[in-house]
Amino acid sequence: MLHLRLITPSETTEDVVRLIEDTVGTTHLVVLTGAARNPDGDVVLCDVAREAGDGLLTGLQRLGLDDSGSIAVENIDLSLSTRADKAEAEAPGEAADAVLWEHLTDATHEESTLSVTYLAFITLATMIAACGVVLDNAILIVGAMAVGPEFGPLAGISTAMVQRRPRLALRSMIALLVGFAVAMTVTVGFSFFMDAVGLFTKEQLEGDRPQTGFVYAPDWFSFVVAVLAGAAGTLSLTSAKSGALVGVAISVTTVPAAANAAVALSYGDTRQTWGSTEQLLLNLLGIILAGTLTLLAQKWFWSTRRTGRTSTS
């Protein structure tokens, strides 16, 4: 269940209440007349089944409540109520399958913002991966994959394409490109330093690396895994099952490929530099493609559910 806290201008309150009452899957409606002070107006509270939440939020935005008042949404972790159980049963679909498009757009907007923290995480992840590829240490590679924050901008691009949000697409693309550019540039310098102190050697990079050699050897399996991981990651975001994102992060070869390209570049190894760059681009393309197709499929699925619900009601 979701809990909505709305601030409505007094002249809009009746329309808001009517919309809530007409929405299947809502309950616990409370109207506090004149309770709001900034902005002035009424406070309307209600609970709504997650699977009915997107339709209600869209209706509230059509009433202009996001401009004239306020719409706040919270997840309810526990609700002991027969009315809540009934509302969930009446709402179409399953809560785990529901997509809150405004929430997804807002979340990806935040995750795809080029910030100092984002740059720090992707740079540190790339340097950890650099140690992993030189030492041929799979544990370090997995750790670097988990630390990397690049899935946020990738999800932002997919969301922007489906929702037709050019600003989000531009913001996400900038975060992705600038993030990897900064991370790889710093990692080149890090590689020079590690070589100077004798911790990295060209022989290690060009030697037999059975654990990490895949990062500069792209093939169809790389693309297939990226597509599967992109679909899983998108489902994780839309269903609020964030725990699955860790598994997605350690399934794709983005940060390790960027790290290997940076280290190889510092040693002038063009073969590994180009191979790693191809691996990176192949993974990025697979994730964006899968994320976009997954969101389109979810959008189509929920539109058919709503249409079917309307025709039978």
pLDDT at 308 over 70: no
pLDDT at 177 over 50: yes
pLDDT band with cut points at 50, 70 and 90 for residue 170? very high
Instruction: Return the CATH number of the domain spanning residue range 2-98.
Output: 3.30.70.120
pLDDT band with cut points at 50, 70 and 90 for residue 18? very high
| pLDDT (0 to 100) of residue 95 | 63
SS3 83: helix
Alpha helices in the chain (DSSP H): 13-22, 50-62, 65-68, 82-90, 101-111, 116-135, 138-147, 151-163, 166-196, 202-206, 220-238, 244-249, 255-266, 270-312
pLDDT at 185 over 90: yes
Digit-coded pLDDT (tens) for 95-153: 666 777 777 777 777 778 899 999 999 999 999 999 999 999 999 999 998 888 898 89
| pLDDT (0 to 100) of residue 312 | 43
Per-chain mean pLDDT for the chain:
88
| pLDDT (0 to 100) of residue 311 | 42
- Residue 132 CB partners (closer than 8 Å, separation 6+): 138, 139, 140, 141, 143, 144, 212, 256, 259
Residue-range domain boundaries for the chain: 2-98, 103-301
Peptide bond preceding 210 in cis form (omega within 30 of 0): no
Digit-coded pLDDT (tens) for 39-59: 999 999 999 998 888 889 989
